[in-house]
Amino acid sequence: MPALPSLRSLGKQLGLSAATVSLALRGDPRVIPVTKKRVLQAARRAGYRQNPLIHSVMSAMRRSAHGSYHGALLAINHSDSERPTLIPYHAELLAGAKSRAKELGYSMEHCWIGPKTLSLPRLNTIIRARNVQGVVVMPFAGVLDFSELDWSGLAAVVMDYCLSRPSLHTVLPDHHLSIFNAMEQLSAAGYRRPGLVLEGARDARLKYKWSAGFTSAFRERQIDPPVPLLVNERISRANFVRWFKLHRPDVILGHMQRDIIGWLGEIGVHVPRDAGFLQLNWTERTSLCAGIDQQPALLGAAAVEAVVAQHNRYERGPPENPKTITIGGRWTTGPTLRIPFRC
């Protein structure tokens, strides 16, 4: 049986010292990128695995000698705007990611890319200059190709289905389970005619998980949804009011809280007395309401944990078999439902 590769044997193979190999595997900025890449490739080919006990002891020694800083992470967002701003969901996601990164001994910065901000080639230069070891790609509308970015030395995750290339590990909400569980809560509260209102692009971007979870809740009971879905390219007052008057749902699940409650009020329908409302992404609420809290801060923390775990296993670049981590949304009651509500 061949001997397991060690830092010493990798160093001998590459003409480097064992100390240099160790620094390169940890992503230390004192090792130049070309050497770091050679070491990572050789370690992967040789099947090198760290001894977890030795790694734990050495990490503790380094922390006591040099503090708890381990490296730099970067959150990447996309916008077509010249002066982009974070929406509340992204702000909470980023706050959760930064907090968890700090706990694990990493710094984390945020940057915008797009036609009016940074290009991917320019971002490559910044990543090398700042010795970034891991990247979190934040969710954004549309699907983009990020293959111009040099992923070979990076641990990375993406937080949505927003990349056509490369294929990365993914961390995202479990939309299907979240709406399925919400439907059970609504049923237990006495609602019998729920209606789903969605802009088609929002459902399509999530691989139709909202509409699939909604209809699955009825399929489990072996009945058809009593209210047809309102899924249009654009939800307008006209098509919403027409749908509502025709089908009379007793609770509406959707994203457009202010518009939907306003339109209902204009036709004499009071929320929650005459019909309830559930916000699918509670972070987007415009006032107190019931909804599904997709827990963006928890998702951001999970994304950082996944990147750091890859970094500690010396896994760099797009994975051969990408994995997905999903986190279920949290049911949040509120004054838009006929359910006891406490501030």
* Digit-coded pLDDT (tens) for 296-320: 999 999 999 999 999 988 899 999 9
- What CATH number should be reported for the domain holding residue 20? 1.10.260.40
Residue 293 has pLDDT above 90, yes or no: yes
pLDDT digits (tens, 9 = 90+) for 199-214: 999 999 899 999 999 9
Please check whether residue 35 lies inside any domain of the structure: yes
Dihedral of CA atoms 50, 54, 59, 62 in degrees, nearest 10, equals: -120
Lowest mean pLDDT among 43-47, 57-61, 285-289: 57-61
pLDDT band at 4 (very low <50, low <70, confident <90, very high): low
What's the one-letter identity of residue 328? G
Q: What is the pLDDT of residue 242?
A: 97
Please check whether residue 23 lies inside any domain of the structure: yes
pLDDT band at 287 (very low <50, low <70, confident <90, very high): very high
d(CA 299, CA 164): 21
pLDDT band at 244 (very low <50, low <70, confident <90, very high): very high
Question: pTM for the complete prediction?
Answer: 0.79
The last residue of a domain, from among 33, 66, 99: 66
Instruction: Give, for 45, the enclosing helix (H) or strand (E).
Output: helix 33-46
- 9 or 50: which leads in pLDDT: 9
Residue 343 has pLDDT above 60, yes or no: no
- 340 or 266: which leads in pLDDT: 266
What's the one-letter identity of residue 164? S
Please check whether residue 11 lies inside any domain of the structure: yes
Per DSSP, what are the bridge partners of residue 172?
326
Dihedral of CA atoms 184, 269, 341, 87 in degrees, nearest 10, equals: 80
Residue 342 has pLDDT above 50, yes or no: no
DSSP letter at 118 equals: B
Q: Is residue 186 within 8 Å of 196, Cβ to Cβ? A: no
User: Crossing angle for the helix pair 18-25 and 33-46, nearest 10 degrees?
Assistant: 90
Number of domains in the chain: 2
Please check whether residue 332 lies inside any domain of the structure: no
Please check whether residue 287 lies inside any domain of the structure: yes
Please check whether residue 254 lies inside any domain of the structure: yes
The pLDDT of 146-169, averaged and rounded, is: 94
Angle at 225 between CA 221 and CA 229, to 5 degrees: 145
Angle at 324 between CA 319 and CA 326, to 5 degrees: 160
**285: which 2 tokens?**
């609420």
The pLDDT of 163-178, averaged and rounded, is: 96
215: closest CA among 205, 223, 206? 223
What's the one-letter identity of residue 148? E
Residue 67 has pLDDT above 80, yes or no: no
Structural domain harbouring 56: 7-66
Average pLDDT of the chain is 88
- 222 or 199: which leads in pLDDT: 199
- What CATH number should be reported for the domain holding residue 271? 3.40.50.2300
Please check whether residue 54 lies inside any domain of the structure: yes
**257: which 2 tokens?**
């809280």
> Parallel, antiparallel, or unpaired: how do β-strands 251-254 and 155-158 relate?
unpaired
**In Å, what is the CA distance from 64 to each residue of 73, 106, 311, 313?**
22, 16, 21, 22
Q: Is residue 142 within 8 Å of 79, Cβ to Cβ? A: no
**287: which 2 tokens?**
């006032």
Q: What is the pLDDT of residue 25?
A: 78
φ, ψ of residue 338 in degrees (nearest 5): -85, 60
The pLDDT of 110-137, averaged and rounded, is: 93
pLDDT digits (tens, 9 = 90+) for 83-100: 999 999 999 999 999 999
Please check whether residue 102 lies inside any domain of the structure: no
**271: which 2 tokens?**
């929320």
